[in-house]
Structure 1
Amino acid sequence: GGAMGNQKYEAFLKVAETGSFKEAARELGYTQAGISYLVNTLEREFGVPLLVREYGGAHPTSDGVAIMEQVQDVCNAERRLEARLAERKHLEGGSVHVATFTSTAIQWLPGIAKRFEDLHPAIKLDLTCIDDQNELEEMMWRGDADCGFAVFPVKRDLHMIPLVRDPLLVAVACDHPLAGEGSFPAEALEAEPYVRLESGVYSEMDELFRRNGVEPHVRFTIASDYAVMSLVSAGLGYSVLPGLILRDAPFPLVSMPPEVPTDREIAVCVRSMETASAATRAFLEVTQEWVEKEYRERG
């Protein structure tokens, strides 16, 4: 943290989040007495009690709850202010907090991060992986993440930079009778048991069934793409997964397009280009170039 105000706010938010002065001290690198001092100072300044201290823990008072979001906003704003000042001093430093989901994290981020590090060694990359897209959008909207990957459509009014159309594919076991076919027929989508990936973005899978005019017969619903692949590989049903996830499947599978092909559009987004830091803009630039090159080479 930078300014004194920032530390008091961070201390309060961290105690509220962890429910413990001890845990907050550990995570922020203070002594417990230091955290207490910061929170007490803030309560004196605000003139209201912010935390109820109980044996072994703490939770926010109603006043504390009421102002928490504003305090978070102030912290985010101060962080942006510090980043902007650093830029004005021509430091090629700063940090970029990127929110991502599993498939982009696994398939793209290693390549993008390496390239980014080569070009901008002084900028620190922070990565968070979240598969619930609503939560991911909220992080970018609030400014908790500087930018991130998302799939169209996006509910929040974020600035979107489209990157790639990623096909949705049907995955089956290698010995499945249709494994050799060019596409998976619509009637099979309806007749056969479906292993559904449950994630914040499964509506994109629903689109495939809509376009093929069928209602799937769900046999299992599970929130891990690896678990889904494992069940499919064992012959317990077919699944629908994005091409990006299936690219280096850790289980033997055959994937093919459905009868009516469907894809999803992946974009990288930022709340606004005007307020984006130079470090964030650098990350967006590297991402676009890397993805373009990657897909050009893959053909």
Structure 2
Amino acid sequence: MNRFIVLEAVLQNKSFTKAAEQLGYTQSSVSQMMSNLEKEFNMHILKRSRTGVELTPDGEKLYPHIRQALRQYRGLIDTANAINGLQSGTVKIGAITSVSCYWLPDLFKEFKALYPQINFVLNQGDYGTIIDWLKNDQIDFAIMTAEYGEGFNKTIVHNTNMNAFIPVDHPYANADAVPIEALADDPFILVEGGGYSEPLEAFKRSGVTPNVRYKIQDDYTIMAMIEAGLGVSILSELVYRRTDFNIVSKPVEPNVTRPVAIVYKSKDELPIASQHFAKFIIDRKEELK
């Protein structure tokens, strides 16, 4: 089973060297394990390309079965841990910026107070990247919008307001709310959502077309650009709570919301530690603000 774990790390990192660093092996031992794995199955599983190490055509046919074996093995380990009182385990999560910054640190701290031996692996990305991680079993579950990710199970834990983020000298800086039509007149800085965008959907519903001047993946870069007077944006209200940028955040008219959900393939197939942490979040959803 160790060779399967190493293969998974090699593919995730696209590198023997990085996989070795991640797992605490030497690069030569990782290479030897992959060579032995190929000998065992009598086929070439890996190849080097310009983008790094990837699967051969034969490897692509074999790897889904290896992934399934890993899931079953980890399920076995997690079940044993559950019988022993959830003494160990790793929770692998994919999350958007606002969630990973504002909610997860406190949730991790509270959960580890109950289960000190549980570890967390947090991957932050846009919607498209997170869904790819789910499809490839790189994460156990995601915390993201419920509006994207067809075919996955979702449990909504919060409805977050999406506010207008504008410079301090903007005409609507002192208003109670900003009409979405006014935001369409300014240079708009769009969060690169990887397949779905709450602001673009809101503009579409209102029958207006924004003047998208920039597409940026990072909320904090966007706020820095707004502070510099380069445009306006619509972002989660959460990110404004932990920033010292000299900008203004106001509700949008009509209201724009993001239904934040726990997104997963199957609750029963989640590792035991992840099942417990997902339930931990759901039980505290009324406290998420």
CA pair 232-202 structure 1, distance change in 2 beyond 3 A: farther
Q: Deviations over 1:241-278 (max 9, x none)?
A: 12122222331111112221121100112322222333
- Decide which moves more: 141-150 or 108-117: 141-150
Residues 148 and 196 in structure 2, CA contact (< 8 A), matched pair in contact too: no
Look up the match of 2:169. 175
- Decide which moves more: 228-237 or 28-37: 28-37
TM-score normalized by the length of structure 1 = 0.84
Give the Cα–Cα distance (whole angstroms) in 2 for the partners of residues 141 and 52 of structure 1: 22
Q: Deviations over 1:124-144 (max 9, x none)?
A: 22222122x133123234432
Look up the match of 1:240. 234
CA pair 222-49 structure 1, distance change in 2 beyond 3 A: closer
* 2:91 counterpart of 1:83: no
- What SS does the corresponding residue of 1:274 show, helix, strand or coil? helix
Look up the match of 2:137. 143
Look up the match of 1:213. 207
Residues 193 and 217 in structure 2, CA contact (< 8 A), matched pair in contact too: yes
Look up the match of 1:262. 256
Shift of 1:13: 4.1
Alignment of 1:153-168 (within 5 A): 153-168=147-162
Residues 128 and 194 in structure 2, CA contact (< 8 A), matched pair in contact too: yes
Residues 143 and 260 in structure 2, CA contact (< 8 A), matched pair in contact too: yes
* Segments of 4+ moved more than 6 angstroms: none
Residues 211 and 262 in structure 1, CA contact (< 8 A), matched pair in contact too: no
Q: Which has the higher contact order (CA 8 A, sep 6+)?
A: 2
Identity of aligned residues (%): 29
Shift of 1:232: 1.2
Shift of 1:8: 1.8
- Decide which moves more: 161-170 or 242-251: 242-251
TM-score normalized by the length of structure 2 = 0.87
Alignment size in residue pairs: 287
- What SS does the corresponding residue of 2:253 show, helix, strand or coil? coil
- What SS does the corresponding residue of 1:220 show, helix, strand or coil? strand
Shift of 1:175: 1.7
Larger radius of gyration: 1
Gaps (5+ residues) in structure 1?
A: 1-5
Residues 166 and 242 in structure 1, CA contact (< 8 A), matched pair in contact too: yes
Residues 73 and 142 in structure 1, CA contact (< 8 A), matched pair in contact too: no
